[in-house]
Amino acid sequence: MNILVINCGSSSLKFQLINSDTEAVLAKGLCERIGIDGRLVYQPAGKEKEITEAAMPTHKEAIQMVLDALMNAKTGVIKSLDEVGAVGHRVVHGGEKFASSTVITAEVMKAVEECNDLAPLHNPANIIGIEACKALMPNTPMVAVFDTAFHQTMPEEAYIYGIPYKYYEQYKVRRYGFHGTSHSFVSKRTAEYLGKPLESLKTIVCHLGNGSSICAVNGGKSVDTSMGLTPLEGVMMGTRSGNIDPAIMEFIAKKENLDIDAIMNILNKESGVYGVSGLSSDFRDLENAAEEGNAKAKLAREAFCYQVAKIVGGYAAAMNGVDAIVFTAGVGENDGIVRKEVCKYLGYLGVQYDEASSSVRGKEATLSTSDSKVKVLLIPTNEELAIARETLLLVTK
Ligand code: ADP
């Protein structure tokens, strides 16, 4: 069966068409600037990328263009929409309602909408994407795969914040965690890679990308994760602050005469390694600048690695041990120096990092020495494939 995987943002839409028998990507791409002007990047497997500028007033036109491209006589990969067996949608926030992926029904849509105020930037866009697909493919089964679902196994003491309990009761303010599809995929693959049962493993997954989160996975279940109510918590990221003293918000607001929206904008868009370096959110730029002697770029990278290591250490304590520490996502898969710097702090856990592995990029690999008590691994994530697998499972049930 061919499965269309859709990841809808407020003005963008990423897609992949995956054959679920072979797990091959038949075509992939991205619609950008939806509602502004519109641009489709379409890449059929093994062929050149095509870029088309065309008006996309809403996500519906964007999805129509994607379907037209997939069926194009020359560069398409299917002949008709009948060849799309199901659609898998990434949905950011499933609140406490969704502990697993689900076939989309009217009831599910209502429940997803009820999670909107937990993720006002993301969920409404996800819903628009689902509605647009439903309008164009009314008879195709659709599945919602939630970023938060994998973390619903966290125990209460891990998800409750030290604020009045009534805010949890009234507004569901708690830790939810994100990147769940990635943490689940990578922890499962870790067990396969090590040839050990998932149920027996204590794994810490470091998903380090533009957004970064770390997850403690005990016996295949998420028991803690660094992102919280929103994806702002945890380690400092490309432009997000991660953990700070909450009083800093009031302090800066008073000093600079800013309201809460302006403060949130600073913490989401002007902070993290970008904010510290004043230069870039991209770890490659920071490494280059650090090599040329830029002290703030160096500090941003060092502080990032230190924060990752502190959370890894905390999760080893939370699980009373760790068998494998796994790096994934853009930075984790590519930046050998970040991996090495993080592991430098973890010797006391029994981590022996293999210096020779620092140049490994983008493929499964063992990064620790053969006698290291704790395995350090690189396992590339593949959220689209994970969504396709979940979708197949649910529509063939
Ligand atoms: P997103 O959170 O947007 O999905 P990714 O997981 O794709 O992010 O990670 C993007 C980040 O990965 C970039 O911002 C960049 O800092 C980093 N990155 C990508 N390639 C490399 C590389 N070769 N070396 C170091 N960092 C890299």
297 and 216 belong to one structural domain: yes
Q: Name the residue range of residue 341's domain.
A: 196-383
Give the mean model confidence (pLDDT) for residues 179-199. Answer: 98
pLDDT of residue 103: 98
Statement to judge: residues 127 and 223 lie in one domain: no
Indicate whether 126 and 200 sit together in one domain.
no
Task: Indicate whether 158 belongs to any domain.
Answer: no
- Taking the centre of ligand 1 as the mean of its atom positions, its distance from the CA of residue 96, in whole angstroms, is 30
Closest ligand 1 atom, residue 238 Cα: 14
Examine the domain organization and report whether 235 and 102 are in the same domain: no
Measured from the Cα of 212, ligand 1's closest atom is: 2
Percent of the chain exceeding pLDDT 70 equals 100
Domain assignment present for residue 229? The answer is yes
Is 177's pLDDT higher than 90? yes
Taking the C-alpha atoms of residue 177 and residue 156, their distance in angstroms, rounded to an integer, is 13
Q: Number of folded domains in the chain?
A: 2
Q: Which residue has the tokens 């641009």?
A: 39
Same domain? For 83 and 201 the reply is no
374 and 233 both lie in a single domain: yes
The preferred substitution site among 210, 337, 338, 358 for testing ligand 1, maximizing ligand atoms within 8 Å of CB, is: 210
Ligand 1 center–CA 282 separation, angstroms: 7
Using one digit for the tens of pLDDT, what is the confidence trace for 240-295?
Answer: 999 999 999 999 999 999 999 999 999 999 999 999 999 999 999 999 999 999 99
* Weakest mean pLDDT among 34-43, 98-107, 113-122, 284-293: 113-122
CATH code of the domain containing 324: 3.30.420.40
Q: What is the mean pLDDT of the chain?
A: 97
The percent of residues in the chain predicted with pLDDT above 90, rounded, is 97
Do 214 and 127 share a domain, yes or no? no
Determine the Cα–Cα distance for residues 369 and 224; give it in Å rounded to an integer.
27
Look up tokens 């010797």; give the residue: 347
Q: Which residues sit in the known binding site for ATP? A: 14, 207-211, 282-284, 330-334
Same domain, 20 and 127: yes
State pTM to two decimals. 0.95
- Of 205, 284, 304, 383, the one to substitute when testing ligand 1's pocket (max ligand atoms within 8 A of C-beta) is 284
Select from 146, 163, 180 the last residue of a domain.
146
**Residue 147: active-site member:** yes
Q: Are residues 240 and 367 in the same domain?
A: yes
Residue 321 inside a domain? The answer is yes
Do residues 242 and 364 share a domain?
yes
Whether residues 116 and 208 fall in one domain: no
**Contact assessment for residue 133 and residue 142, using Cβ atoms and an 8 Å cutoff:** yes
Q: Considering the domain boundaries, does residue 40 fall inside one? A: yes
- 284 close to ligand 1 (CB < 6 Angstrom): yes
pLDDT of residue 41: 97
Atom of ligand 1 nearest to the CA of 282: 16
- For residues 256 and 81, what is the distance between their CA atoms, to the nearest angstrom? 55
Residue 81 inside a domain? The answer is yes
- Known binding-site residues for Mg(2+) equal 7, 383
What mean pLDDT comes out for the span 144-160?
A: 98
Please indicate, yes or no, if residue 153 is contained in any of the structural domains. Answer: no
161 within some domain: no
Residue 345 pLDDT > 90, yes or no?
yes
Residue 121, pLDDT score: 81
26 assigned to some structural domain: yes
Do 15 and 112 sit in the same domain of this protein?
Answer: yes
pLDDT at 122 over 90: no
